[in-house]
Amino acid sequence: MIYVLEARAVAEVFALRPVNNILDHLTDLVTGGSVTFANDVIADMRQSYDGDHSLTWTVAVKASLFEPAVPWTEKQDVQDAYPELVDPNTARETCLPAVLAQARRLGSPSTPCCIVTEDFGEKPGRMSLAAACAAEGIRCISAADFLDEVGL
């Protein structure tokens, strides 16, 4: 199983547990290839979580990530398939298409991907990442469920 994290989920992981209790184990999951996130997640976090431990951690583990670069064409394929995933009324680019594209790219029958997100439920003017995952047949869970699954 490869867990693919989106920006709000990374921040929530750090909000749910004391940093000292999760840092080493979470980093080991990244270096072992069980946890990853797209480079776009860091860009998204820089906009919303400046000064937060979660942003510091994402930057620190960036070099250890498994396949963090998501080609523009693959992100565009996601946006073409799910145009409602991105709010057309905001100029701010989100990491959501990259997260879904990364899970599409990395997942296989022998190594499934699971997206860790806090983007559930109805959104005014846009589709949630969880809804797009359901349409794709990709499992998604909350940050709290992720922490339980990996023993944190």
SS3 of residue 71 by DSSP:
coil
Q: What's the confidence (pLDDT) of residue 88?
A: 76
Q: How far apart are CA 56 and CA 10, in angstroms?
A: 11
pTM, 2 dp: 0.93
Question: In sequence order, what are the beta bridge partners of 126?
Answer: 123
Residue 68 has pLDDT above 80, yes or no: yes
Q: Please report the domains of the chain, with CATH numbers, ordered by start residue.
A: 2-149 (3.40.50)
Question: In sequence order, what are the beta bridge partners of 2?
Answer: 113
What pLDDT digit, counting tens, does each position of 35-66 carry?
Answer: 999 999 999 999 989 889 999 999 999 999 88
Q: How far apart are CA 8 and CA 23, in angstroms?
A: 17
What pLDDT digit, counting tens, does each position of 119-147 carry?
Answer: 998 778 889 999 999 999 999 999 999 99
Runs of H (alpha helix) within 32-119: 39-48, 53-61, 72-81, 96-106
Residue 117 has pLDDT above 80, yes or no: yes
Which residues lie below 8 Å from residue 142, measured CB to CB, with a gap of 6+?
A: 9, 12, 116, 117, 118, 120
